[in-house]
Each structure stands twice: as structure tokens, then as C-alpha cells.
Amino acid sequence: MKEFEKINAVQKMQDYIENNLNKNITLYELAQCSNYSPWHSAKLFKEYIGKGPFEYIRLMRLTKSALELRDNDKRVVDVALDFVFDSHEGFTRAFKKEFGITPQKYKKDKPPIYLYNPYPIKEQYMLNKKIEKNNNDKVSENYFVQVMEFPKRKFILKRGINAKDYFEYANEVGCEIWGLLCSIKEALNEPIGVWLPEKFRTEGTSEYVQGVEVPIDYDGIIPEGLEIITLPPCKMMVFQGESFENENYDIAIENISKAVIKYNPSLYGYEWATNELPSFQMEPQGYRGYIEGHPVREI
């Protein structure tokens, strides 16, 4: 069996689970969508995801239930039943074992917790290995640029050591930090990757970090191992590429990176301020195109 066929089979199982978390899911159903026997489907899933399919389903249901409790005024028992837990008590035990807090207390206090936030296997696989691509695979080089105003705000971040980009950061810090950042309810936007200029860095820490922006008056919990800094108001030149197939995310990033290098902001009355202020990238998601922002100031 070719490796890419295995990856596609596991991706189909991930997709099926994502779309059916509120229903009972059987190994037979996963086998049907992967086109392999139940035994072989479970073996492939564990091999590539690192967790068996039913452990994965449990973690996904607990994460989705936590977001329901955080964002919606629903009773714990109703959330438990929505995500196919047999009882309020069983859900409470599983939730506390995974997150270290009961669902009732989490619903009340909403502290940051480590949500389970796995990558689709195709994306995860390409972070660690090279897949031979068809030379005809291309992403449009068209892009949209706009200048956006950002207010003074705070930034909760996790620093690395030597990382200069996402891949180095993931090797240093791991991918679990993204789930923790996603759990911060007061976030102004989704988590982002950020390149910090020298004055925002501390000795022995990385240029590239991940974090989430929160209001300037944020006084909530700072999770252990993270810190909070203040970002000044600024203008950002934001580049957004066209939509792309998710497996081509690396090409989409490369296209925008080349566009930024070639771009001359002085034609529009600006100059780069990247030595003074942070730049950012958003998680590559094919439907919206890759997005990257760099600070500018008026000339």
C-alpha cells in the first residue's frame, strides 16, 4: 500500500469523525469510509495519529463540549448528551481527568485549558516528511493587499528558544500550545504566529512565537509558561492570497512571502516598520487564502 493512500484513508476517517461527533461512531463506519477492513483501519489510524480512533473521538468530543460550555449558556447535562456521553457523571469524570477541572466549574470560570486540536493528517504529514508533488500543482500568485489599523492591545504568548518560523517553533514548543490559545475566551481574534523584533524579545528566546491578542484591559488568567506583553497601536499592510487546496499550503505561503519581498509600500505613501513592530501570520486555511501582515508607517 502506498503511503499517500494510507494518509488519504486516515484523512477520510478524521473527516468522518469531525462531521459525526454528535452521533455514535462505529469502527465499521470508519472502515467503510477508509475502504479498509475494521482491523486495518484502526491500525492505520493509530499509526498516523498516535491515538486509537476511539481515544481520538473522546478527546474531540471533550474539546467540542468545552467550547460549548465556554461560549453558550447550556446545562452541563445537555452538553454531555449532545456529545454522546452516557451520563452527566461519566462526562464529568472524563472532563476532569482530561482538563483538570469539572465541567461545571469550567462553565463558571472559563480558565484557559489545553484543548485537543489535531491537524488534519495530510497537513501534519507534510510538516514532518516530504511528499512528492505533481509538478502541475500550483496556487494562484494573485493576492489582495490592504492597510489595517490595529489598536493598542495585549498579547498572550508562548516563546520558543531559537525559532525563526513555524516549523522550527513546532519542533521546539510542540503543537499543543495552539489548543491552549484557542481556549482563551477573551481573545480578540484567533491565535496567530508572530515574528518579534529585537525589542519585544527577551534574552535567549525566539524571534517567532505563537499567541493570541486580548483587550488592553485584560486581567484574566495567564497560563503557566506563557506571558503577556503590550502591543502598541499600529498600521499593518495585510496580504491575503487566493483560496487553495489545503495540501498546497506551503506553496500558498511561499507565494505570499515572495510577494512581500517584492512589494514597494512607498508607492502608497508607506515604509516598512518591521524592525520596530511585530509581523504576523494566520493559520493557513485553504478556503480564505493565506494571510500575513507586516507593520508600516506613513512616510
Chain mean pLDDT for the chain: 91
How confident is the model over 75-81, as a mean pLDDT? Answer: 96
- CA torsion, ordered 224, 226, 229, 235, to nearest 10 deg: -140
Question: How far apart are alpha carbons 226 and 154 in whole angstroms?
Answer: 13
pLDDT higher than threshold 80 for residue 267: yes
Place of cell 454531555: 80
139 pLDDT above the threshold of 60:
no
Taking only the tens place, the pLDDT of each residue in 181-226 is 999 999 999 999 999 999 999 999 999 999 999 999 999 999 999 9
Phi, psi of 231 (to 5 degrees): -105, 130
CATH class (in words) of the domain with range 143-298: alpha beta
- The stretch 47-54 carries a mean pLDDT of 93
More confident residue, 88 or 3: 88
Confidence of residue 5 (pLDDT cuts 50, 70, 90): confident
> Hey, is 162 helix, strand or coil?
coil
CA dihedral 241, 247, 250, 251 (to 10 degrees): -60
Q: Give CA separation, 166 vs 90, 109, 121, 192, 207, in Å.
A: 38, 32, 17, 10, 10
Whole-number pLDDT of residue 142: 86
- 3-109 folds as Arc Repressor Mutant, subunit A (1.10.10)
| Average pLDDT for 28-48 | 94
The predicted structure's pLDDT at residue 133:
47
C-alpha closest to that of 35 among 70, 64, 62, 10: 10
Q: Which residues contact 170 (CB under 8 A, 6 or more apart)?
A: 127
DSSP codes joined into one string, 128-151: HS--PPPTT------EEEEEEEE-
What's the chain's Rg over C-alpha atoms? 21
Burial of 99 (0-12, 13-18, 19+ CB in 10 A): buried
- Whether the CB-CB separation of 172 and 160 falls below 8 Å is answered with yes
- Helix axis angle, 38-49 relative to 121-128, nearest 10°? 50
Distance of alpha carbon 138 from alpha carbon 253, whole angstroms: 12
Domain map (residue ranges) of the chain? 3-109, 143-298
**pLDDT recorded at residue 123:** 66
Give the three cell numbers for residue 269: 505613501
Give the strand pairing for 291-298 and 279-282.
antiparallel
Using alpha carbons, select from 277, 179, 271 the residue that is nearest to residue 233. Answer: 277
Please write the tens of the pLDDT for every residue from 219-250. Answer: 999 999 999 999 999 999 999 999 988 778 88
